[in-house]
Amino acid sequence: MSMLSAIVRFENLHELRRLCHWGPIIALSVVGVCSTVAILDSIIWFWPLDSTGGSVNFIMLINWTVLILYNYFNAMFVGPGYIPLGWKPENPQDTLYLQFCRVCRGYKAPRSHHCRKCNRCVMKMDHHCPWINNCCGHLNHAYFTSFLLLAPLGCIHAAFIFVMTMYTQLYDRISFGWSSVKIDMSAIRRSHHPIMPFSISAFAATLFALGLALGTTIAVGMLFFIQMKVILRNKTSIEVWIEEKARDRIQYYQTGEEFIFPYDLGGRWENFKQVFTWSGVPEGDGIEWPVHEKCHQHTLTIEQLKQKADKRVRSVQYRVIEDYNGACCPVGKGFRTFIRTPCTEEPRIPLTRGETIFATRGTKWWMYGDKVLEEEQTQAGGRIRGWFPRRCVEKCLYDSANSPPADGAKKDN
């Protein structure tokens, strides 16, 4: 019993609910299908007990599956690390450079952001990933990126097995009419009488698994290169966006400032070691970070405060003229609104005629903004923001973006 207690921490069993989500269900199903079919096809094509090559092939296939699942579950259950509820910096003066989160009732540490899905402030938040049903952040960034690398490599190996199995099993059964093409396949056609029969259902399963493997290789491989690009610059996806907005702000107002990203240590290897370590535990405590020699701990948070202030100035007040139920792809709001819905997990907010919205960004058919709430809701930390159809609102004829209710509505969590 003591051994079981050492393996399973009963107080963390509630984390298993993360598996009950469409993301992990699909991801684990793809891993399960590709691994199972690859193992069965290896038995048909390259029986591991017949040769050293077959044994190596089979062991590598099992190792891919184990490593993929190990990094996947660590990324999911280790989690990104969260800022303690009610956190405050040791120096009270530092609160002037930090944003306050009403939901967590504490200050946001440098590089942390509040995740609406996790409902917590996440250390060094990169993004909320639906495939692991958790955030990718400080503690699990290495596990998540390793999963993104291993999944395509395992799928490439599995795809090779699928192709060779189908070719060798169908070589003598189907005539393609290629009389002038002669290919010596004797080295890889292991047996005319495989251990398991290759039936029509086996062919269909192999073909389906091949499609999954190729699709996963392309999609997940692209995500891996995106992640490595930001890791080698010691950034997160959110910080890339913050840096772009900093340059736009400086260019728009012609302030003459020079914004230096504070966490880029100057070398790719130094940046790489901030995430990947031999122990598996990333560098730092998730609150204080090594910074560029020309910067300090609050260089980025000060820039964020400037951007929030600029955002409030640029926000435009709209009045709701048409009800909207919050549907992702509303049918009754026009065909173009239906097909041009934003491709993002950010929420849609229902609207009622007469309400007021402060819009901060948008497209031709959709807008994103904050709904003006009652004073009691604002003081309680409530906030409703998200996307809504542009046709449901009209611009107010007066500018009240800097009025007191707007300021209350515009403060970030």
User: Known catalytic residues?
Assistant: 129
Handedness of CA 61, 63, 66, 67 (dihedral sign): negative
C-alpha–C-alpha distance, residues 206 and 195, integer Å: 17
Per DSSP (E only), the strands in 55-165 are 100-101, 106-107, 113-115, 120-122, 127-129, 134-136
C-alpha–C-alpha distance, residues 237 and 112, integer Å: 12
C-alpha–C-alpha distance, residues 163 and 366, integer Å: 45
CA angle, 294 then 297 then 301, to 5°: 105
Following DSSP, what letter does each residue of 366-399 receive, concatenated?
Answer: EEEEEE---HHHHHTT---EEEEEGGGEEE-SS-
Q: How far is CA 152 from CA 107, 133, 227, 336, in A?
A: 39, 20, 14, 36
Residue where the block lists tokens 């998730």: 286
Pairing of strands 356-362, 134-136: unpaired
Q: Is residue 268 packed enough to be buried (19+ CB in 10 Å), middle (13-18) or exposed (0-12)? A: middle
Q: Is residue 301 packed enough to be buried (19+ CB in 10 Å), middle (13-18) or exposed (0-12)? A: buried
Phi, psi (5° rounding) for residue 179? -70, -25
> 319 pairs with which residues across the strands?
356, 394
State the first-to-last Cα distance of the chain, in angstroms, to the nearest integer.
Answer: 44
Residue where the block lists tokens 């402060």: 358
List the structure tokens of 327: 């549907």
Query: Which strand (E) or helix (H) includes residue 158?
Result: helix 141-170
List the structure tokens of 352: 């009622």
